[in-house]
Structure 1
Amino acid sequence: MTTSTGTKLGYLRVSTGKQDESLQHEALDKAGVLKRNRYVDHGVSGTKTERPGLDALLDDVQPGDTIVVYKLDRIGRSTAHVAKLIADLTEQGVFIESISDGLNSSTPTGRAMLQMLAIFAEMERSFIAERTIAGLAAAKAQGRTGGRPRVADSKQARTAQTLRDSGESVPEIASTLGVSIATVYRLTKAPSKDS
């Protein structure tokens, strides 16, 4: 299948409530996307996994339709996410057009560029995995382990319990030890009422 036979559906997203979609709407107007066929996520960061507008679009899109975006970064959280989304849509027979990137999966050049995007996304995932493994190995060689550093040691825990048993308030103990109130609650038990 090399040509789009269905409806053009537009997707627009801005990250903050202060931004507006006017530039994206103008681009979709020029691309021939009808206003009734546009899905918008306003004030939704690209890092969010839940985007109601995009979710609705993905539910409505049919084989032969073309999803039109102003830029590819509008549709995905990362290069890897965009590449996977495009691969899934292409497999369903849905075309992708990115106006400012000049990509259109209904053309051979557009398909080739989108395949390159998928290759770079895979490389990016591999590099991140390699760097993570190397970093963990280097830390282990230096005697460090992963995870959050401990906020309080056992000596602080004993001090916190002693202060709490003597009637000090939890906020005062937290201030004295330089830890959070939640940490004091986690480290100590409430003094028994009979003591």
Structure 2
Amino acid sequence: MWKLDRLGRNTRQLLDLVDSLESQGIYFRSLTEGITTTGPMGKAMLTVMSAFAQLERDQLAERTRAGLAAAAARGRKGGRPTVTPDSEKVRQAGQYRHAGLTPPEISKLLGVSRATVYRYLALVTDEANE
């Protein structure tokens, strides 16, 4: 394995996986950390290094949550900004689709992405079902 933290999401999962591999005669070796499970010292180091890797992941997640909460407290919202669809283009997309054009053809005509055309067509379908 290139790096220990790529093998499992937490210490327990990593140790269970290594035990499962060893029961099949397969030993673990981390190229980056230089750890191997062929002896008792390697297993001990694996446990310690895995615990530190999990601690690092947990701290990163905690800092991320704290940063998002601080941003939200300042009125900042994450993600892409919402865009109100152009009602004229939505109408045109529906007409083009009804005329038999494909979403890629419609996207070229309207100058929008194919994904946007699918969103427009979903809006047209929703309006028709109301």
**Counterpart-to-counterpart distance in 2, 1:186 and 1:88:** 45
The alignment status of 1:182 with 2:118, answered yes or no, reads: no
Tell me, what secondary structure is at the counterpart of 2:27? strand
- The 1:123–1:79 alpha-carbon spacing in structure 2 relative to 1, beyond 3 Å, is farther
Identity percentage of aligned residues: 32
Q: TM-score, normalised by structure 1?
A: 0.43
**Counterpart-to-counterpart distance in 2, 1:167 and 1:104:** 63
Instruction: Give, as a single letter, the amino acid of the residue that structure 1 aligns with 2:40.
Output: P
The alignment status of 1:98 with 2:26, answered yes or no, reads: no
Report the alpha carbon displacement of residue 115 of structure 1 after superposing the two structures with TM: 1.3
**Counterpart-to-counterpart distance in 2, 1:93 and 1:105:** 10
Q: Deviations over 1:161-184 (max 9, x none)?
A: 3444676972211x1xxx312212
Report the alpha carbon displacement of residue 143 of structure 1 after superposing the two structures with TM: 2.0
Q: TM-score, normalised by structure 2?
A: 0.59
Report the alpha carbon displacement of residue 85 of structure 1 after superposing the two structures with TM: 5.3
Q: Does the 8 Å CA contact 2:29/2:36 hold for their aligned counterparts? A: yes
Aligned to 2:90, which of 161, 176, 181? 161
**Structure 2 residue ranges without an equivalent (≥5):** 98-104, 126-130
Aligned to 1:170: 106
Aligned to 2:67: 135
Q: Does the 8 Å CA contact 2:10/2:54 hold for their aligned counterparts? A: no
**Structure 1 residue ranges without an equivalent (≥5):** 1-71, 191-195
Aligned to 1:114, which of 46, 51, 64? 46
**Counterpart-to-counterpart distance in 1, 2:51 and 2:40:** 17
Higher helix share: 2
What RMSD, in angstroms, separates the aligned Cα atoms of the two structures? 3.6
Aligned to 1:87, which of 4, 8, 15? 15
- The 1:164–1:108 alpha-carbon spacing in structure 2 relative to 1, beyond 3 Å, is closer
